[in-house]
Every structure is written in structure tokens, then in C-alpha cells.
Amino acid sequence: MTSTERIQDLLNRIYGPEKGRQVHDRLMPLIEGFDKKPGRNASRFVQGEMVLITYGDTLRHPGEKPLATFHRFARRFLKDAVSSVHFLPFFPYSSDDGFSVKDFFRIDETLGDWNDVARIGEDFKLMFDFVINHFSAESQWFQNYLEDRPGFEHFAIEVDPAEDLSAVTRPRSLPLLTPFTKRDGRRVHLWTTFSADQIDFNYASLDVLEKMVQALLFYVEKGATILRLDAIAYLWKTVGTTCIHLPQTHDMVRLFRQILDIAAPEVMLITETNVPHEENISYFGSGRDEAQMVYNFTLPPLLLYTFVKQDATILTRWARGLNLPSPETVFFNFTASHDGIGVRPLEGILPAEEIDLLVKAVTANGGQVSCKDNPDGSQSPYELNITYMDAILADERSDKTDKFLASQALQYSLPGVPATYIHSLLGSRNWHTGVRKTGRARSINREKLNLERVLEELDDPASFRSRVFFPYLQMIGTWRRQPAFHPQAAFEVLDAGAGLFAIRRTGGGQTIHAVTNVSARPVTLDIERLRITRSGRDLVSGNRIDSATLVLAPYRFAWLEAP
């Protein structure tokens, strides 16, 4: 089957033969007419691939556009550590810190413009957010829908509020339907999964699909090498179902993958699905037809639980299953992001009472808990809102960095592509002022920083930021040089006892045993039992291994390289 035949087959499955042919005739000129970029690096996964996650305006400097401010900072500090930059939505928006997009084709002028993005793209690979599920109630597209302008009549999903929607999976404790009045005076209730300002696209409309394919290809043209499919799990809605992970949603991911395989085969898709592990990895598809990467959503809460309990037993058991369906896929490993720490990915891994323990630990450390509505009318934790720094540390006043850096080193030792949120790299703490200002719990990890103040703190070796930032960069620098830490290098998770997480990575002629003490007590590593070569050395400390055991101090990690 040819590529165009595969696209036609997918469209027929989603829309039926008649509409499938119609939309095929509309999409193929866009795809075939796309200006392919010759000479682009088509290598998917390379040694040292690391992604920095940031908002376009996390760093600010008076009189300078934030994208230019970030680029200046990144060129000075990050070029030897970061390979790709993931910019969270930098488009004009009306709410949710960018995720309620008003214009999918422009840069928010308060941040900069596409020229700023292009300049950053000269130094780093770029990852863009493709906010695929919804659009802003203040957008021109929505006004066009309200006015029934041609091509926009069916952009939103109108639902009779009398319909039984109790089966719908809810990620928020907000109304699913929001009333609006159209220009002709007709009152409609529209599907709004995330908020009243975020109108869900109606992908049953061919006009919606065509617009979003245009946006997809536009982002590739503007330099994106990775596209993040935001909230993809909720894309297709069918009343009477859960409206999550529906077959049409998976076919849509396959469709976008097939389009890119034709127009820009070097560009990868990554799915953002804050759900239990098996549901999450379903977006790999066969390993060759859906996303090349999925967010490893179970890692952040399970890693946190490991440090709270000071016991790596469950993490060790879970990590043994991090196998991939094909060489065309990898996990996207992260601990912190602009969102909170998802709780649903722990379903089936931890019992309810252990999840409650995690909730209590987070609230004790100054965090908050966001809940979701359940079909039976109850609520349950959905997300823990806290910086990963404060989640990991024993209490909010702690100024020790070892425990946090150990958690990050453990993340980097796992198979896959690691990603670090800029606030983790900078050692940011809970931003309670932001929560009070916005009234949103998620603001706790979205502080806007004055660049000069940040630089002053980095110049002070005694400051908390400096004691996190430079050791973190040093750790990344060491990690990047090791072939055994290639995203797809072989791995074996070892049983080193409850207090230790140990993994053997092998690749490029190198073997590394990465061992992390997740406890507040010294733990002895039995080198001989784990078949670790005694004549090797620790890449972290530089020390040689010259005995049958190795004592790791509390919250210390070692990367033991065989000779």
C-alpha cells in the first residue's frame, strides 16, 4: 500500500468512504505541495539528546522580548547541555498560560516573533506544542463559528444538555458543556473538556481537519522537529462512550504520522496523555504507525513515591517493563513540567492508601491537589501541584540539594530521551504568590523570573539556584558523553535492595551501572553480586572501584563504568 493509499484508508475508517474521499482530495494538495527541507538531519534518536521544557517568557529582562532573553541565556549556559528546546504554546492566547490558543499561526507579540524562533533554531532543535484538542473562545475561528461563516459552521461540538454524558472521562471538576449564543439567537451547549474558554474542536468536520493539517505543516515549515500532541486522548467524541482513547483518536494520530512521513519524515510526534501506563503507551501503536515518543507519565509520581518511602522496590519492578514495540520509538522521560504531577498514572501500580500518602506528603511540602470528577459523582486526585524540587525535599525550608539531584540522575539513567523543566534546572521553589495572584494551583510551578536576579543568584556559589544549576549541568554533561546512555541503549534493571535503584545500560561498546541511593541512610552496594567490574570507575566522582562493595552516602548516585 502506498503512502497516499494509507492516508485514504485512514480517512475512510474515520469518516466513511464518501467523506473520506472528499477530505483526501482536500488534504493531498497540502501534503504534496509542502516544501520539503533537503539536508535536514533525519536521525531520529541520537546520543546526548536532551530536551529543555520552558515557556517563552519564563525569563524576562526589561526592554527585551522574552524569546530573545531566553536565547541570550541559553547561548551562554546551555549549548553544551541542551540539544532541543520545547517551547510551551507561544501563540496569542486568552487563558491557561497559552493553552487556549487564539491564533495557531502567529507568535504572541509580547514574546517576540517567528524570527526570534528561527534564531533559536540555529542553536537548538525545536519542539512545538500542537494544541490539537481545543481553541480559544476569544479566537476569530470561534467568532466565525458563532456567526455561521462558511467553513466554520461545524467547528464546535453542539450537544443537547439532556444527553447522558455520565460515561465521559473527566480530567477536570468543571462543567463539560458551556452555553453560548450564536448570531441568529440560537442557544447552543458546546463541549469544553478543560474550561469554558477552551472550545473543543469538532473533528467530525472536514473543515477542522483541514485547518489543523495546515497548522501541522506550518509548524514543520517554521523549524519544529518534534510536535507535542496536547490532550490528544480526548480528541474524538462519541456520546455514550468514555470519549477517551477512541479508535478514531488513534486513527487521527496515525493520520498525522502518515502525513509527516510523506512531507517531513525527520519530524516526530509525541503524545501527551496523563493516564495509566498501559493506556499511555497505546499511543506507540504498532511501533511504526503512531507516535515515535510518549511522555513517560508514570515516572514523575512513582519516582516521587520512591523518595518519599525511601524504597525503590516498586520503581524497580515497574522499570523492568519499559520495553518498546519497535526501534522507531522511545520514552520521553521527565519529572517536572508546567503541569502538576499526574496521579492517574499510578492506577494499578499503587493502592489507594499509598496514593493518599503521596497526596499528604505533597500538601505537607506546600503543594496543592487538583481533583477530577468521577462517573459516580465523586472526586479523586488528578494532579499534584508543586515544584518537583519541593515535592522531593523533606520540607519546604530544606536547603539541601543532594536528594533532588539524585532524583534527576535516576531519571537520566533510564532508557529514553530525558527532558528537564527549566524551573527544575534553575532550582525554583513553590511560587505561592503566583497561586494567590491567578487563583490557579498550577501557577505554583510557572513563575516568571527576572533574568538579572537569576544571574546574580547563579554568580553566588552559596545560593540555592547556583548549587542546583551548575551540578545539574555537570551531570548532564557527563551523561551526554556516554554511549551507554543512548536513548535506545540496552538496559537491565537490577535488584540491588530496597534502598537502591540500579540499572545496567549497554551500548556503543560501553557498559554503565547507574546506581542511586533513594534513602536517607548509607547503603552498601554489593558489586560482586551484581556482576559489576571491580576494575572500573565512577564517572560521577572519578574514583576507581577497588573493592567488592561500595557504600553510597544518603541520596548519592554513582555511574560505574566497566573498563
**Three-state helix/strand/coil letters over 394-460:** CCCCCCCCHHHHHHHHHHHHCCCEEEEEHHHHCCCCCCHHHHHHHCCHHHHHCCCEEHHHHHHHHHC
271: confidence class by pLDDT, cuts 50, 70, 90: very high
Write down the pTM of the prediction: 0.96
pLDDT of residue 395: 58
Q: Is residue 500 part of a domain?
A: yes
> For residue range 60-94, what is the model confidence (pLDDT) as tens digits?
999 999 999 999 999 999 999 999 999 999 999 99
**Domain boundary at 446, 481, 516, which?**
481
* 480 marked as binding residue: no
* 228 marked as binding residue: yes
Residues 429 and 408 both lie in one domain: yes
CB 227 within 8 A of CB 274: no
CB 312 within 8 A of CB 326: no
Reduced 3-state DSSP string for 161-210: CCCCCCCCCCCCCCCCEEEEECCCCCEEEEECCCECCEEEECCCCHHHHH
Query: Which of the residues 207, 230, 251, 390 is marked catalytic?
Result: 230
Task: For residue 65, give the 3-state DSSP assignment.
Answer: coil
pLDDT greater at residue 3 or residue 106:
106
Task: For residue 4, give the 3-state DSSP assignment.
Answer: helix
**Domain boundary at 448, 481, 514, which?**
481
Residues 334 and 456 both lie in one domain: yes
DSSP structure class, residue 553: P
Per-residue cell: 563: 573498563
Provide the CATH number for the domain around residue 422.
3.20.20.80
pLDDT of residue 43: 55
Residues 325 and 447 both lie in one domain: yes
Residues 305 and 440 both lie in one domain: yes
How much of the chain, in percent, has pLDDT values that exceed 90? Answer: 88
Give the mean model confidence (pLDDT) for residues 512-519: 97
* 108 marked as binding residue: no
pLDDT of residue 38: 59
pLDDT of residue 365: 92
* 257 marked as binding residue: no
How much of the chain, in percent, has pLDDT values that exceed 70? Answer: 98
Q: Is residue 210 part of a domain?
A: no
pLDDT of residue 9: 97
Per-residue cell: 229: 500532541
Residues 396 and 477 both lie in one domain: yes
Q: Is residue 160 part of a domain?
A: no
Residues 463 and 545 both lie in one domain: no
**Lowest model confidence (mean pLDDT) among 97-111, 154-168, 385-399:** 385-399
Per-residue cell: 311: 524504597
CB 545 within 8 A of CB 511: no
pLDDT of residue 396: 46
Give the mean model confidence (pLDDT) for residues 40-62: 87
Give the mean model confidence (pLDDT) for residues 533-557: 89
pLDDT of residue 511: 96
Backbone angles phi, psi at 483, to 5 degrees: -60, -30
Look up 230 and say whether it is catalytic. Answer: yes
**Domain boundary at 439, 459, 481, which?**
481
Give the mean model confidence (pLDDT) for residues 518-528: 93
pLDDT of residue 398: 62
In the chain, what is the straight-line distance between the N-terminal and C-terminal CA atoms, in Å? 49
* 339 marked as binding residue: yes
pLDDT of residue 545: 86
> For residue range 315-350, what is the model confidence (pLDDT) as tens digits?
999 999 999 999 999 999 999 999 999 999 999 999
CA distance 456 to 474: 20
**Lowest model confidence (mean pLDDT) among 134-148, 278-292, 296-310, 366-380:** 366-380
Q: How many domains does the chain have?
A: 2
DSSP structure class, residue 64: B
Q: Is residue 237 part of a domain?
A: no
Give the mean model confidence (pLDDT) for residues 149-159: 98
Residues 354 and 502 both lie in one domain: no
Between the CA of residue 90 and those of 54, 87, 106, 256, 340, what are the distances in Å?
Answer: 10, 7, 8, 22, 20
CA distance 549 to 541: 16
Q: Is residue 498 part of a domain?
A: yes
Residues 471 and 496 both lie in one domain: no
CA distance 475 to 1: 47
Provide the CATH number for the domain around residue 525.
2.60.40.1180
Residues 437 and 477 both lie in one domain: yes
Between the CA of residue 432 and those of 396, 429, 470, what are the distances in Å?
Answer: 12, 9, 25
549: confidence class by pLDDT, cuts 50, 70, 90: confident
CB 208 within 8 A of CB 155: yes
Q: Is residue 473 part of a domain?
A: yes
* 229 marked as binding residue: yes
Q: Is residue 40 part of a domain?
A: no
CB 365 within 8 A of CB 391: yes
Please, which residues have CB within 8 angstroms of residue 455's CB and are 6 or more apart in sequence? Answer: none
* Segment holding 352, helix H or strand E: helix 352-364
Q: Is residue 277 part of a domain?
A: no
H helices of 514-554, where? none
Residues 518 and 469 both lie in one domain: no
377: confidence class by pLDDT, cuts 50, 70, 90: confident
pLDDT at residue 563 greater than cutoff 90? no
Residues 460 and 507 both lie in one domain: no
pLDDT greater at residue 468 or residue 398:
468
CA distance 339 to 97: 11
Residues 413 and 550 both lie in one domain: no
Q: Which domain holds residue 534?
A: 490-561
* 356 marked as binding residue: no
